[in-house]
């Protein structure tokens, strides 16, 4: 990964901004890869497929993201929507992994 990018407050050109955005996107992908690794671990650890979907935990995760975004003065409503998609995608992935491990 290219570590030679400027932080947002140090950017002076659009080329620097784009380089930083691209580097950040790669970092986000690495974090998503780790997050989905936790979904694989959960699929391995959970002994009952019916507990993969946990609506209380889903709501907690989304609310945590919304609260964190609000504290950072980010568009918290939209970020909560992103997290809704992320969590639903994670649940679907975990169900596929749960079935794959046990087939």
CATH code, 67: 1.20.59.10
Residue 24 in domain? yes
pLDDT tens for the chain, 103 residues: list them. 457 999 999 999 999 999 999 999 999 999 999 999 999 999 999 999 999 999 999 999 999 999 999 999 999 999 999 999 999 999 999 999 999 999 9
73 SS3 class: coil
Q: Burial letters for 10-42: b for 16+ Cβ neighbours within 10 Å, e otherwise?
A: ebeeeeeeebbeebeeeeeeeeeeeebeebbeb
| Containing structural domain, residue 55 | 8-102
Residue 1 in domain? no
What pLDDT is recorded for position 3?
73
The model's pTM: 0.91
Residue 27, both tokens? 């970092």
Residue 15 in domain? yes
Structural domain tally of the chain? 1
CA–CA separation, 64 vs 73, rounded Å?
14
CA–CA separation, 14 vs 71, rounded Å?
27
């Amino acid at each position: 990964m290219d570590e030679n990018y400027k932080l947002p407050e140090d950017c002076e050109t659009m080329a620097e901004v784009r380089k930083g955005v691209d580097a950040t996107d790669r970092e986000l992908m690495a974090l998503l890869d780790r997050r989905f690794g936790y979904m694989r671990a959960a699929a391995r650890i959970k002994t009952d497929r019916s507990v993969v979907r946990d609506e209380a935990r889903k709501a907690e995760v989304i609310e945590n993201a919304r609260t964190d975004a609000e504290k950072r003065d980010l568009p918290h409503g939209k970020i909560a929507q992103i997290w809704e998609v992320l969590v639903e995608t994670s649940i679907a992935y975990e169900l596929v992994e749960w079935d794959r491990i046990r087939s």
